[in-house]
Structure 1
Amino acid sequence: MTIPEAGTPSEPARMPVEVRRSARRKRTVSADIRDGVIRVSIPGHFSATQERHWVDRMVERMTAKHLPPAGSSPDEAGKALLQRAERLAQQYLGGRGIPSTIGWVTNQNTRWASATPAHRSIRLSHKLQGMPEWVVDYVMLHEMAHLIEPSHNAAFWALLTTYPRTETAKAFLDGAAFAAQRNLTGGQDSL
């Protein structure tokens, strides 16, 4: 089932939605974006009310993560990340490693980011959003270094020696991954 784009003068239009029911799916709901369509996969036994609840929830989640904030266009959001990448490349990589495309994605749950040197593209996990800027800068530089040197060899790591917070950022990300794997939450009362 495909739900057409919604939108009112006060609410921006959203991407079309396709709902996929599966008899094999028992409890989980997932969503992704393919060819400009939000695809929501739900268990086949869900009622119409459950379907509407989960479709609304997943569309809201995907829209928040993939569409730029109100008042900005997708081009503006991409331009901001690209400008940041260009600044980092000039400052730390001698102007090399600038991607042709860079953006936030929600389908990377086991990696902080990835790069495709053949396309000069970088994808940043939405899980980085809200982390300190110096951590995101490190991840961007790490992926930009892959556009220069694809493997994790000595030449690759030598590219990152110019960024002064490489080791601290790596430790931060290791701690974040450790906490996430154990469903730990921070807070002053946690100790």
Structure 2
Amino acid sequence: MSREDVEVRRSRRRRRTVSAYREGERTVVLIPASFSAAEEERWVTRMLTRLTAGDRRRARGDDELQARAAHLSQKYLGGHARPTSVRWVSTMGRRWASCTPGEGTIRVSDRLRDVPNHVLDYVLLHELAHLLVPGHGPAFWRLLASYPKLDRARGFLDGFAHAEGLAPGPDENPVEGSAGVEGTQPE
């Protein structure tokens, strides 16, 4: 990224903090008004490095998520679920994940980046199953029945939802018969 693509905004209210974000093709760096030119240059360089590392991590993360979904589809669904894209998103407030079967897209909340692998695998498998069967009827749950850590992963998500203060909701799994919590089931 060239220096022309960076806008530095100085603020008299800022005392010590520096932040940066992408605004379209431009990067905006917010600094205290009291910074010298040398401090500004040092912080702009530092923030560009951080943002670039984050961009690479997110891109790599989406590729890894896509590969993980392909592996799970092959292993548990005979390779029949073939999403066009699988990616992390930061815009999900109450759901763990969602899919749009017509487009073949799967989106996973970035709140799940640090969950155990068996939990992420369940969430991905849940969304992959929706590419094959809409809704949460018996046929849907039969697709997931071969996943050995299904109950364990759902229990983890129930606890995670409770910790995040999500309200209880109706049971979505008539086959399993366990209590569900709205927002704990991938959509």
TM-score, normalised to structure 2's length?
0.61
Q: Counterpart of 1:6?
A: 6
Which residue matches 2:173? none
- Give unmatched runs, 5+ long, in structure 1: 8-13, 19-35, 39-47, 50-58, 183-191
Supply the distance in 1 between the matched residues of 2:6 and 2:146 (Cα, whole angstroms). Answer: 47
TM-aligned CA deviation for residue 37 of structure 1? 8.2
**Higher gyration radius (CA):** 2
Say yes or no: does 1:90 pair with 2:96.
no
Distance (whole Å) between structure 2 residues aligned to residue 128 and residue 67 of structure 1: 18
Q: Identical aligned pairs, as a percentage? A: 37
Instruction: Give, in angstroms, the shift of residue 111 of structure 1.
Output: 0.2
Secondary structure in 2 matching 1:97: coil
**Letter of the structure 1 residue corresponding to residue 141 of structure 2:** W
CA 77–176 in structure 1, closer or farther in 2 if over 3 Å, else same? closer
In the alignment, which of 48, 56, 70 is matched to residue 68 of structure 1? 56
| Shift in Å, 1:180 | 1.1
Deviations 1:119-163 (A, max 9, x none): 100000011011101000000000000011121111111100010
Q: Is the 1:5–1:16 Cα contact (8 Å) retained in structure 2?
A: no
Say whether the 8 Å CA contact 1:105–1:125 is kept in structure 2: yes
For the residue of structure 1 that corresponds to 2:6, the secondary structure is coil
User: 1:82-122 deviations in whole A, cap 9, x for unaligned?
Assistant: 21111111111111112110010000010000000011000
What does residue 54 of structure 1 align with? none
Q: 1:103 to 1:5 in 2, by over 3 A?
A: farther
For 1:136, the equivalent position in structure 2 comes to 120
Q: Which position in structure 2 is the counterpart of 1:22?
A: none
User: What's the counterpart of residue 53 of structure 1?
Assistant: none
In 2: Cα distance, 1:6 partner to 1:101 partner: 31
**Pairing 1:1-191 to 2, within 5 Å after superposition:** 5-6=5-6, 16-17=22-23, 67-69=55-57, 74=59, 76-181=60-165
Alignment-mate amino acid for residue 55 of structure 2: L
Aligned length: 137
The answer to whether the Cα contact below 8 Å between 1:111 and 1:125 also exists between their aligned partners in 2 is yes
Report the aligned-residue RMSD.
3.6
User: What SS is found at the alignment partner of 1:123?
Assistant: strand
Contact between 2:5 and 2:26, CA under 8 Å: does it hold in 1?
Answer: no
